[in-house]
A and B are shown apart, each in its own frame.
Chain A
Amino acid sequence: MMFPLWFLELIVVGGLTLCGVGAAALIVFWILDFKEKRIW
């Protein structure tokens, strides 16, 4: 039994998307915290 192609596509594309969205989310969180003066 082997991992099907769709599973490999799912984890690679999903992982890649999550990394990209994650980096963007960190920047958005920082901007929101900065506006509210609650970074530290």
Chain B
Amino acid sequence: MTADGWAEGIFAILLFSQSVDAGRILSPEAGYVMLLLFGVAWIGLGIWWGRRATSYDGFAVAGRNVGLALGTATAVATWVTSNTTMLAPQFALQLGIWGALAYSTASFGLFAFAPLSGRIRRLMPHGYTAVEFVRRRYGRLGSIPFLIISLFYAMTWLISMAMAGGKLLNALSGIPYEVGMTVVLAVCVLYTLFGGMYAVIGTDFVQSIIILIGLVVVAIAVLLHVDIADVHQQLQDDRPMLLSILFPAALMALFNNMLFGFGEIFHSNVWWSRAFAMREGVGPKAYLLGGLLWLPVPIVAGFLGLAAPALGIGVSQPDTVGPLVAATLLGTGGALLVFVVVFCSLASSIDSLLAATSDLVVNDIAEPLAKRISGTPATDPVKRRWSLFAIIGLGVVTWCVAYPNIGTLATVLFFAGPMVGSCIWPIVGGLYFRRSSPIAACMAMVVGTSIGLVAYFMIGWFVASLVGAATSGLVFFIGMYLYPDDFDFRSLSHLPGPPLAARPEDGPIDPSERIGMVGDISSGGETR
């Protein structure tokens, strides 16, 4: 077929999308074409960037030299999940202006992680995972509950994203759930497999720009059709509660969402692996800028939900209000744009989870086990091979759990709220206070998780993270007071074993580099 023939064929498919079933904004054929185009593009880019991953350091942490542009973009893209673009309009439609603002408070986690990322990079210049830090800081007492929480959170997020992929592509274009879920997951597994962290961060850059520009285009289209004053007037007349400053459910959602975000980012290896990957000094700037660029995304997406009534768009399914607004105002072009934005939102989170969780499996499960059996640490090529098995294994497990499409599975992620909330203080304390002790960290995680889950079932999801974090903090500081430690932060910068296949540019660890570290203040402070 000639180029013109291809163009005509694609054009016919896109035209057909205007006569699809009500509620769907694209035809299945158009959906398949977009999946194929972007799937091939991501895999191609993954292979291209993956050529740089010649060592395990390259594969797992992108050579530890990522600059500001890619560092900022990967923070934005990873934190923009399909929920951000699809659920934020629903949040606004149901909880009003506070709903959109509540969602945007998840960016505070990125702001707060900025100083932590710089300290993590300085304390552990050769580190790979968050669990490795907890193991070396608190020993097995802290690392076992932390590893369980980390794996539970990572797997539930991964499964919920895969399920969201199948459901959203089905809702947008009628592609069967099983096909959409399988394709999205397979594409992410393939390019992560070929390129590791290089592919993940590289594609994140492209995906973040597509998401931001896509949102701007759709929001401008809305503003060309309806004035903000009209939206405000319509809400005031028909749904005044959505404009209410005192909306109790929305206010509780705001604080819960904020603490859930803190817990997610502080504990998850998705964010720690990026802190290790960024060049020294880049992490704090990248996370601050990433938070600033992410903050408006739920607000702009939420405005699409608020504008729907003023635009005369009837909403039968609240979770598709964003795409419906885009397709109504921009026709086929808008529908295609939304489809691509959703695909980017899904891929940018799934690939990060695959890479970061495979790091946990290799460094915190396989390597310690192998070391115990053989007595020698794993070499660079062996860890690289384990990573490939881990990524494929995670993909297969996710596919098997997501395939039956059990609705309640997607909500299991909310259980993780109190669990990750209970990790906030052990992480902050472990990074900054020498007195933070293993018993305090362990008890904080166990008690915080337990009481938080009780609150989840007895009161509701909107207080679970809050209760988990508050209880954990109380237990942590009591434990630290009763059983203080005297930790030497300098021990974290030593390699746990002999350096294996280190890159020549890494050079030896220069003790003079540590003089300026906060953790090295000789005495008199809480940190030394």
Hey, which bits of chain A sit against chain B, CB under 8 A?
1-3, 5, 7-9, 11-16, 18-20, 22-23, 25-27, 29-30, 32-33, 38-40
Contact = CB atoms under 8 A, between A and B. Distances in A.
Contact of B243 (A3, A20, A23): A3
B143 to A, nearest CB: 31
Interface in B40-99: 52, 62-63, 65-70, 72-73, 76, 97
**Range class of the B interface residue count:** 35 or more
B303 A15 contact: yes
B303 A19 contact: no
Q: Which of B97, B216, B229 has the most CB of A within 10 A?
A: B216
Interface of B: 52, 62-63, 65-70, 72-73, 76, 97, 100-101, 198, 205, 208-209, 212-213, 215-216, 219-220, 223, 228-229, 231-232, 236, 240, 243-246, 279, 289, 292-293, 295-297, 299-300, 303
Closest 9 CB pairs of A and B: A15-B296, A29-B69, A22-B293, A23-B212, A30-B69, A15-B299, A2-B243, A18-B296, A33-B67
Nearest to B215: A19
Contact of B228 (A9, A18, A27): A9
Contacts of A29: 67-69, 72
A1 B246 contact: yes
A37 to B, nearest CB: 10
**Main secondary structure on B side of the interface with A:** helix
9 contacts: A3-B97, A15-B295, A16-B219, A16-B220, A19-B296, A20-B212, A25-B289, A40-B62, A40-B70
Nearest to A26: B73
B216 A23 contact: yes
A8 B66 CA distance: 37
B296 A2 contact: no
A8 B76 CA distance: 24
Nearest to A1: B245
Contact of A5 (B63, B73, B213, B229): B229
Given A1-B246, A5-B228, 14 more contacts: A2-B244, A7-B97, A11-B97, A12-B228, A15-B303, A18-B293, A19-B212, A19-B296, A20-B213, A22-B296, A33-B69, A40-B62, A40-B65, A40-B198
Contact of A3 (B216, B245, B292, B296): B245
Contacts of A5: 228-229, 232
A36 to B, nearest CB: 8
B260 to A, nearest CB: 21
A1 B303 CA distance: 20
Contacts of B209: 23, 26-27
Contacts of B236: 2
Nearest to B66: A40
Contact of B231 (A8, A11, A18, A40): A8
B244 A1 contact: yes
A15 B304 CA distance: 12
Contacts of B228: 5, 8-9, 12-13
A29 B286 CA distance: 11
A2 B245 contact: yes
B205 A26 contact: yes
Contact of B216 (A11, A16, A38): A16
Contacts of A8: 97, 228, 231-232
A39 B68 CA distance: 8
A22 B296 CA distance: 10
Contact of B279 (A15, A22, A23, A38): A38
A12 B302 CA distance: 9
Contacts of B216: 16, 19-20, 23
B345 to A, nearest CB: 14
A3 B240 CA distance: 10
